[in-house]
Structure 1
Amino acid sequence: MSIQQQNHARSIFHRATKTLITAPLILGLAAIGSAQAQDDREGWPQSFTVGTASQGGTYFVYGSGWANLIADQLGLSGGGEVTGGPTQNLALVHNKEVAFGLTTMGPASDALSGKSPLAPGIVMDNVCAMFPMYETPFSITALSNSDITSISEIPDGATIGFGPAGSTSDTYFPAILEELGVDFERRNGGWNDLAGQLQDGLIDVIAFAAGIPIPAVSQLEVQTDVNIIEFTDDEQAKAIDAFPVSEFTIPASTYSTLDNDSDVVSMWNFAIAGCDLPESLVYEATRITMENNDKMRSIHRSAETTVPENIKHNEVIPFHPGAARWYKENGHEIPDDMIYQ
């Protein structure tokens, strides 16, 4: 055998020996990794549900899309469920009827202090915050042929649609309009249903509280001429003084109907989870959401504010330990008394 052949034989021998030595090590490491993955998923449900709101509203689009993103990324079965909105979602999560939900700060404050209209006297303490969503503007829409162009022009006794019973809109908008001196008849229903009633002349106005653009309003614009009504400075000030809302401007680019920005009031929304859900599950769901804002914005445009810097807008709901762990690992501080113990 030539020297060249001998060297070639030795090379083959060394490669074969290395493979025989490292193969069990690789298999062993894979087994350890698999076992760790199993341990990390201890207690995870095989499927989950997200409480949203009625079809035609932002909650349904946002929540269903988010559920699909998390389910796809984590290899679980999950989806959004039509509900009565933020107030009912708090009760559903608290009672473990759904794993996750979407809510606003006003109803959350009421629920955690035992003042929920759905369950007076019951403190809903199995509700934890996950991540900030967006601000919910309170905006009013009427048909253009109604000649209603301002809140003060809403006629006495007008029939106003306030969304699903128990929703943020239904809970706060009637009280806001009463504070502003509006006399009205109240109507509840899903946003798509109310939009149809507005077109058919069965109601005079819809008072929306939903993330923008509101699908039902965008659809109305396609089908008919509408007025999107803003608050005057005085009306804003009165609402802010009496309710847990703040100033908000709807950009003119939101709707084709708007020629100028529209000044209204708003309330922050947060995603919530059952406090007893596994820490690792909530950590992963929070991580996926916070690290994929581009995918969140593809679900709904309002998710541009679904970013960790906005956790500061929650001073009501304790954060789930899993969510808090992700924020702390990524340099975002949360006071210890705002983390569920």
Structure 2
Amino acid sequence: MKFTLMTGTAMAVALSATVVTTATAQDRDGWPDSFTVGTASQGGTYFAYGSGWANLVAEELGLSGGGEVTGGPMQNMALVHTGDAQFGMTTMGPAAESLAGTNPIAPGLQMDNACAMFPMYQTPFSVTALSSSGIASIADIPDGAKIGFGPAGSTSDTYFPRMMEALGVNFERRNGGWSDLGGQLQDGLLDVIAFAAGVPVPAVSQLEVQTDINIIEFTEEEQAKIMADFPVSEFSIGAGTYSTLEADARSVSMWNFAIANCDLPASFVKAATDVVMSDNARMVGIHKAARSTLPENWDKNKVLKWHPGAAEWFKENAGADIPDDMIHGM
């Protein structure tokens, strides 16, 4: 009798395991075996943040996946739209331009197959110079200064030159990865770097360890003009962000969102979203900018249609009131 009871119990456990395995297999129908997340250049926040959440999702979901070096938000919109990358990261400005068909990577192509996945953080626009240069304000930037604006096509390269022109700065434009530009600044090949990246920017943190730098804030008047002319909002870089900063620095910012190819299975995108959004402390451990990677910031997306899987997660877990006309395929 005892033998029969044990056999029955074992059978029940085996049956339960079979049910779970079958359900899991059904849930994963159509899932890719691997995925990539389009990030940006090494030395920037996108690369550190994006590679981090890519590895986290890969580990938690048992898939092969990782971050990929790209030209940043504009290129990521193109890669995700075409399906060359399953996931990516972008800012709201480049996203709007891509939907309108004005992405310089493919002019005229409306990139409407890249869907919103989850809110990441705000990208502050900040300016850095060597202390030895004597540049301590925007007004101090000399005529014809060599300014590094980041990778070609990045958020920084798309918007910061226009901002500088609006503020009356005359400059020579330089492009490159953030780490490379940081080295050029230190070697005297650049006068200024105009960063648009989540803070702390790794390249800036590295610079201030090696040399004395000035992190230049906007004046109230400069901030107001930029906010009036560009799709940005008020922002303050906290004094604790860099050892160089002794007080909060006035800035402007633009929201970043993770994006997913709209054709990916809803269950896959929902599961990946859950991995990132369900444990903020783990994300902050990847990068401090993730302190804003919170469910309640779902409403910062005013541009992209949501992936159905991501929309389902935010409706169930954040009480998101996402209208049907903002969800892809509805």
Query: TM-score if structure 1 supplies the norm length?
Result: 0.95
Structure 1 position 18, deviation (Å): 2.2
1:307: which partner in 2? 294
Report the CA distance between 1:30 and its aligned residue. 1.6
Question: Does residue 279 of the first structure (1) align with residue 266 of the second (2)?
Answer: yes
Q: CA deviation at 1:332?
A: 2.4
Distance 1:304 1:16 in 2: 55
**Aligned match for 1:101, one of 88, 98, 103:** 88
Shift of 1:24: 2.4
Equivalent residue for 1:203? 190
- Asked if 1:339 is matched to 2:324, the reply is no
For residues 102-144 of structure 1, give each alpha carbon's deviation from its aligned partner in whole angstroms, at most 9, with x where no partner exists.
Answer: 1000000000111111111100011001100000000000000
Instruction: Report matched runs for 1:153-302 at 5 Å.
Output: 153-302=140-289
Shift of 1:17: 2.6
The two structures, once aligned, show a CA RMSD in angstroms of: 0.9
Match of 1:42 in 2: 29
Q: What is the letter of the counterpart of residue 136 of structure 1?
A: T
- Indicate the residue corresponding to 2:316 in structure 1: 329
Asked if the contact 2:116/2:258 (under 8 Å) is kept, the reply is yes
- 2:123 is the alignment partner of 1:128: no
**Runs of 4 or more consecutive aligned structure 1 residues displaced over 4 Å after TM superposition:** none
Shift of 1:223: 0.5
Aligned-partner Cα distance in 1 for 2:277–2:38: 20
Q: Secondary structure at the match of 2:222?
A: helix
DSSP-derived class of the 1:273 partner: strand
* Distance in 1 between residues matched to 2:88 and 2:134, nearest whole Å: 38
Partner of 1:60: helix, strand, or coil? Answer: helix
In structure 2, C-alpha distance between the alignment counterparts of 1:145 and 1:215, rounded to whole Å? 21
Given that 2:298 and 2:314 are in contact with CA atoms closer than 8 Å, whether structure 1 keeps it comes out as: no
In the alignment, residue 324 of structure 2 is paired with which amino acid?
A: D
The answer to whether residue 11 in structure 2 is matched with residue 24 in structure 1 is yes
Match of 1:84 among 57, 71, 75: 71
**What's the CA shift string for 1:235-276, capped at 9, x where partnerless?**
011101110001100000001111110001100000000000
- Displacement of 1:197: 0.5
1:286-307 CA deviation, whole Å, 9 max, x = no partner?
1111111111000000101101
2:144–2:171: 8 Å Cα contact kept in structure 1? yes
The corresponding residue for 1:67 is: 54
Bigger CA radius of gyration: 1
TM-score, normalized by length of structure 2? 0.98
| Alpha-carbon distance, 1:19 to partner | 2.2
Deviates more, 1:91-100 or 1:21-30: 21-30
